[in-house]
Amino acid sequence: MKKIVRPYKKDFDYSYTSGASVTIELLKTNPGSVESVYIHSAFTQQEKIESICIANKIPCFLNDSVFKRINQKENTYVLGVFKKTKPKIAADEPHVVLVNPSDMGNLGTIIRTLAGFNICNLGIINPAADIWNPKTIRASMGSIFHINFQHFDNFEEYLKAFPKHHKYTFMLDADLELYPGTITRPPLFSLIFGNEATGLDGAYKDIGTAVKIPQSMLIDSLNLSTAVAVGVFSFTS
């Protein structure tokens, strides 16, 4: 039965990809989760999408009204409807942990950055922005389908689940500055970042090793997605 696609809500058991490139990424990486694909009549590469759908036995519909119904941007001509999953982060690989991230655009950009540096495990401490929101998925440019992520009710729950990871908390008042060669990277590590408005509170300074990214006095702090990119690059290069 064809699902009636409505404007997204967090409590849905499905979400959707918005745009051709993101939908193609979904079809290539997680075809089993895809329920249907919709194509706008103005899209000029229908055959490419249709051929992938046919190969994976995914229903594909030419339907302009769906795009109006969910208030898509005018230049969005492909929509993929897929089931939400509950992936788990790996215990034997490095992590990035975001404590209460609140901006969906930042979250999507961070996911894309993690995939770019092959850090494929993201812990998210609630409350947090909705990772399944189509805005987050679009900002990730489909990279969300290449990483594992897991939500935790609080940071203590994460600590209990992964005691072997050395924790690096990124804080503006940390004593240790992050320069090339200043940190010996352990096999298992967690890079922990606070949210966009407040960062990490003082209690995190006593967890693992507190580090800070050197910056000029011209700004209060780096944007969260930028800070994550600098931190991940420092630990993977």
pLDDT single digits (tens) 188-218: 999 999 998 889 999 999 999 999 999 998 9
Compute the mean pLDDT over every residue in the chain, rounded to the nearest whole number. Answer: 93
Q: Which CATH class is domain 14-83?
A: alpha beta
CA 45 to chain centre: 27
Mean pLDDT lowest for which of 6-10, 71-75, 201-205, 233-237? Answer: 71-75
Domain with CATH 3.30.1330.30 in the chain: 14-83
Section 119-140 average pLDDT? 97
**What is the third-level CATH fold of 95-236?**
Alpha/beta knot (3.40.1280)
The CB-based long-range contact list for 4-10 (8 Å cut-off, 24+ gap) reads 5/38, 5/66, 5/69, 5/70, 5/79, 5/81, 6/69, 6/70, 7/69, 7/70, 7/71, 8/70, 8/133, 8/134, 10/130, 10/132, 10/133
Identify which has the larger pLDDT, 1 or 198: 198
Domain with CATH 3.40.1280.10 in the chain: 95-236
